[in-house]
Amino acid sequence: MKLIQRIGYYLGGFSIGLVVLAFFLNGKKVSCDYGPEARVLKNINSKTLRISPDANKELKAKSIDSATIQSIIKHGDIQFSKSDTRKEPCSIYYLEGRLQEAVLDLLIENCDSVATITKVIWK
């Protein structure tokens, strides 16, 4: 068998495998969250989100609703240098997000079943 025929058979089988794989994974919530920041954000988003009274007062003063907070948490950046990831029983993460032209930082206490926004910092 010539090299060209081998390559043709390989590419044919490979393309059939890709089509079958796409068929099985289509429509499922499959994600590739391998980095530490993506895993932390996914973990926080999967829990019940609570807002402390101080943070709630700060957010209401700027007319920020819960949908905007969810968007900031979903697309924000975790600053591990400012976070306390080893604190027991709940890790504390410093999340930096953008809200239109302003930069909004959230201090999030990430416990086993609940994530609580403890502080809001405007920059």
Q: Does the pLDDT at position 112 exceed 80?
A: yes
Q: SS in 3 state form for 39-98?
A: HHHHHHHCCEEEECHHHHHHHHHCCCCHHHHHHHHHHCEECCCCCECCCCCCEEEEEEEE
CA 30 to chain CA centroid, Å, is 14
CB 73 within 8 A of CB 97: yes
Q: What is the reported pTM?
A: 0.71
Query: Structural domain boundaries of the chain?
Result: 1-30, 33-122
pLDDT 10s digits, 53-104: 998 898 888 888 888 888 888 888 999 998 888 888 889 999 998 888 788 8
Lowest mean pLDDT among 26-30, 35-39, 74-78, 117-121: 26-30
